[in-house]
Amino acid sequence: MDKDASPILQFFNESDTEVPLSHTAASKILALIAQMEAVNFEMVELVYVDEAEIVRINKEHLDRDYITDIISFRYDEGENSSDNSAIEGTLFCCAPRIAEQANEFGEPIEQEFQRIFIHGLLHLVGYDDSSKDEKQRMTDLENKYLSLSGNNN
């Protein structure tokens, strides 16, 4: 991709839940993270699904049988997985679960949808959250990007 070209963000809502994150707001977050992390997103699909579909994806690809808020798949990884010059991936987000989490955490629903999108992008960049320290690092980055995007409520 041309360094000056904008990344392609494809946005799909296959759930019955209204998604309070516009394509424009998501594109701004994508550009912010690309700039701040010094990476290049070639193409990102943002797909909102229901509980049944997220469980199906989780079972089929990760051998896990439960609802989760997001599953990230990166496609461009080849011999050099640390090459972030043309990241391609899909973020499957469970819209009903994200809405429930916003309520559980007492957070504005728009902010929770933004946070989960940021979380997925951080996974595509290469961050992990399998340990307590890694989870904290990702939460700190989510808070940073929510603040910098001007979208934290």
For residue 50, the SS3 value is coil
Instruction: Give the per-residue pLDDT at 108.
Output: 97
The CATH number covering residue 60 comes to 3.40.390.30
- In this structure, is residue 153 part of a structural domain? no
Alpha-carbon distance of 141 to 147, in angstroms, equals 10
pLDDT (tens digit per residue) in 50-64? 999 999 999 999 999
Residue 120 falls inside a structural domain? yes
Question: pLDDT tens, 141-151?
Answer: 999 999 999 86
Number of domains in the chain: 1
User: 46-99: per-residue pLDDT in tens?
Assistant: 999 999 999 999 999 999 999 999 999 999 875 555 689 899 999 999 999 999
